[in-house]
A and B are shown apart, each in its own frame.
Chain A
Amino acid sequence: MIEIWSYLAEGPLLWLTATLIAYLAGDWMFRASGRKPWMNPVLLAVLLLAALLTLSGTDYETYFEGAQFVHFMLGPATVALAVPLYGNLHHVKRLALPLLAALVAGSLTAMLSAIGIGWAMGLRAETLLSLAPKSTTAPVALGISEQIGGSPTLTAVLVILTGIIGAITVTPLLNAMKITDWRARGFATGVAAHGIGTARAFQVNETAGAFAGIGMGLNALLTALIAPYIARLFL
């Protein structure tokens, strides 16, 4: 038994398989809960795998040997985001002014207030840099975090938590503000809470979902362009 374990624990097969199974388990729990935002499949998969690694005494480097094949697909997936963005381009042309204004306002608010609150509460520079791109979709956020000197692994978790917070707060928040325009509600959610927020928007309203997708795509581009300057401004 121990021999089999030490053989498998050395190759990439074990942890690649574990990553896929953990994700399927997380996704199953998410569906079983009736798609509750706080039952996030990624967060559940991460918790499952972290517990497995700790219990088996496996370090992250060994785990990543296997998981890197999944991680690698982030690059091509980021490129592929151009397709849904292209599909929604007719909205972008027609509503260029409100879209661009809300994009810049939402994106800057997300970055500046996150860094500002974190700074006021005494977070270290590297943590602040990891926090800066947390409203963008994960593959892009990891790239930005690495570029500006943050920690991509910390950013990955902050991105997921941001999405969950956005998905939970958006409906009560915007109802209280009496904003009824589904385009505005969806777009702001996509800008502030990326794919998890977009999934939530689609649950509530089809138009809100489409505009959330546009917000997510445009904010990936904008944050990549301005995050380095914001990082320099603060640190």
Chain B
Amino acid sequence: MIAHVALLLALQLAGEAIVRATSLPIPGPVLGMALFLMLLIARPKTAKAVQPTTSGLLSHLSLLFVPAGVGIIGHLDRLAGQGLALFAALLGSTVLAIAVGALTFSLLAKDR
């Protein structure tokens, strides 16, 4: 398990280092995920080995964004003033995105 955590951290570190060195406009951990995906494709055995560690981590994924969410207490005035506009943007864009995505997929995947 320690080895798997070390692997995840090393991939994140590699992602962060490459992003800094090349000033790519993506977050380091996302590049780390892409690197990990390539590693798994190259060495399928790794996927089975790391599975227990990564499922453990991912099954509590939502806990991990509680600290950032609590930061909302610093934005209460903005939410009070712009709450309606934010809600309209969230509701409108989410409904549109689901409709457009599902429609596109079902039209193109009809006979597959």
Contact = CB atoms under 8 A, between A and B. Distances in A.
B21 to A, nearest CB: 16
B52 to A, nearest CB: 10
Contacts of A140: 27, 29-30
A223 to B, nearest CB: 9
B30 A50 contact: no
A63 B70 CA distance: 9
A114 B89 contact: yes
Interface string A175-199: 0010111011101110111011000
A233 interface: no
Size bracket, chain B contacts: 35 or more
Contacts of B41: 86, 89
B57 interface: yes
Most buried by A among B5, B82, B104: B104
Interface in B3-17: 5, 8-9, 11-12, 15
A78 B12 CA distance: 9
Interface in A75-122: 75-87, 89, 94-95, 97-99, 101-103, 105-107, 109-111, 113-115, 117-118, 121-122
B66 A187 contact: no
A114 B90 contact: yes
A170 B86 CA distance: 19
Contacts of B47: 83, 86-87
Given A174-B102, A191-B101, 6 more contacts: A98-B104, A105-B104, A127-B82, A142-B65, A146-B27, A174-B99
Interface of A: 19-20, 22-23, 41-43, 45-46, 49-50, 53-54, 60, 63-64, 67-68, 70-71, 73-87, 89, 94-95, 97-99, 101-103, 105-107, 109-111, 113-115, 117-118, 121-124, 127, 131, 134-135, 137-140, 142-144, 146-147, 151-162, 165-166, 169-170, 173-174, 177, 179-181, 183-185, 187-189, 191-193, 195-196, 215, 220-221, 224-225, 228
23 contacts: A67-B66, A70-B63, A70-B67, A75-B12, A77-B61, A79-B12, A80-B57, A86-B47, A94-B112, A98-B108, A98-B112, A102-B101, A118-B85, A121-B84, A122-B85, A123-B89, A127-B86, A153-B74, A156-B68, A157-B75, A162-B93, A181-B105, A221-B33
